[in-house]
Structure 1
Amino acid sequence: MMGHTMTPRLWIIGALGLVCAAAALWLVVRMFVAWITFD
């Protein structure tokens, strides 16, 4: 492991990035399912 601990800012940025990625993936899945069921 690293000698120094990660700053909370990196943890916050990482968490926000993960949430944004999850939200985008959820949106894509929902749109895909809606498109499949619509057709």
Structure 2
Amino acid sequence: MIDRCNLTVLDLPSQADLADFLAANQVEVVVRCPITVN
């Protein structure tokens, strides 16, 4: 299974167990890091 995740949700108290859940279920997390160009 692949989960596309906004990593900022991992800081939310309501999602405190999400990282452990994904790891325990061997879920591949795909993220996109925004790039700011000045």
Q: Tell me the TM-score normalised to structure 1 length.
A: 0.28
Q: Which has the larger radius of gyration?
A: 1
More strand by proportion, 1 or 2? Answer: 2
More helix by proportion, 1 or 2? Answer: 1
Q: Tell me the TM-score normalised to structure 2 length.
A: 0.29
Q: Which one has more relative contact order, counting CA pairs under 8 Å at least 6 apart?
A: 2
